[in-house]
Homo-oligomer: A and B are copies of this chain.
Amino acid sequence: CCSSFVAAAERSPSFAAAGKKFQLEDVIEAQQFDREILNGIFDVAREMELIEKNSSGSRLLDGFLMATLFYEPSTRTRLSFESAMKRLGGEVLTTENAREFSSAAKGETLEDSIRTVEGYSDIIVMRHFESGAARRAASTASIPVINAGDGPGQHPTQALLDVYTIGREIGRLDGIKLGLVGDLANGRTVRSLAYLIAKYRDIKIYFVSPDVVKMKDDIKEYLTSKGVEWEESSDLLAVASKCDVIYQTRIQRERFGERIDLYEAARGKYIVDNKVLSVMPKHAVIMHPLPRLDEITVDVDADPRAAYFRQAKNGLYIRMALLKLLLLGW
């Protein structure tokens, strides 16, 4: 998956000319967004934040129907998308059971399922267990498709909400010092985040991870090629004292197979706790894609620099913005 991740960045993005701005057609992978588009999306997300806080409810997407086609369950992501659609007055067809479409017994192709569902809805939000499934769906569908995660592949709305959160919390996206902590080998979030943040200026990234789950070379080489400074460190306190953002991630047990001993060693190594908090600058923040286990201790939650639940909420605004842009344009 690794080399294809960076290689994909060179492909043409899913945008088409529409007046002066580009029309967003699908959301398939983090790589499709350049800095200008990112900033455009973030401006719309800010507008969405204002709409959401107005409790009387928007009718912006009144009459539009979104299908959430989830081939594997992901309650958190699904509820976030469905909330986004409903907060804008749109309606939802939902299934957490989409594997039934393509069960071994019936054997229908993804393409045939998409051709059926596009007849019932105006936009498809798809979660799939296979890398590349979102691109296949988008090639087939005549309506917009949003990738809500396709296996080990991409989860672009998570990447967007992460960058948006840094901008909202720190007040800028250039000149950010970012500590990526935890499972850097398997986590698609940190890989996508490293990729996207490289589009901004004067970025410095610190990688802090157990040896068994270190950041892979493709991302390191990509960062170097884009002029992004990076270094590896095993001293979380030293990194925390210098960074604007500490981005903690969960060590994924399922990646260790039988080697529970390695898992246990890795998960206890870099914990964000009050000691880490005490060396962090006042303006800095802690982020986490959630769910968390104990890699951030619960007593950290009360500190205003604990940004992870605000980060989850920002997912709502990013998804509202994407739905608006895909269905109504800029």
Contacts and interface: CB of A to CB of B under 8 A. Distances in A.
Interface in A43-68: 55-57, 62-65, 67
Interface in A63-84: 63-65, 67, 73-76, 78-80, 82-83
Given A57-B63, A73-B100, A94-B94, A120 B83 contact: yes
B253 A105 contact: yes
Given A80-B120, A316-B120, A73 B97 contact: yes
Given A56-B63, A86-B65, A76 B316 contact: no
Contacts of A109: 298
B65 A83 contact: yes
Given A86-B93, A119-B313, A316-B119, A112 B291 contact: yes
A115 interface: yes
Nearest to A293: B107
Contact of A98 (B75, B121, B253): B75
A199 interface: no
B97 A290 contact: no
Give the interface size bracket for A toward B.
Answer: 35 or more
A254 interface: yes
Nearest to A313: B119
A48 B124 CA distance: 22
Nearest to A116: B312
A244 interface: no
B95 A67 contact: no
A219 interface: no
A91 interface: yes
A232 interface: no
- In the complex, the count of this chain's copies comes to 3
Contacts of A82: 93
Contact of A75 (B65, B87, B95): B95
A64 B121 CA distance: 20
A22 interface: no
A177 B62 CA distance: 44
Interface string A102-145: 00011111001101110111100000000000000000000000
A45 to B, nearest CB: 14
A292 interface: yes
A62 B63 CA distance: 12
Contacts of A108: 290-293
A309 interface: yes
Interface of A: 55-57, 62-65, 67, 73-76, 78-80, 82-83, 86-87, 91, 93-98, 100-101, 105-109, 112-113, 115-117, 119-122, 253-254, 290-293, 298, 309, 312-313, 316
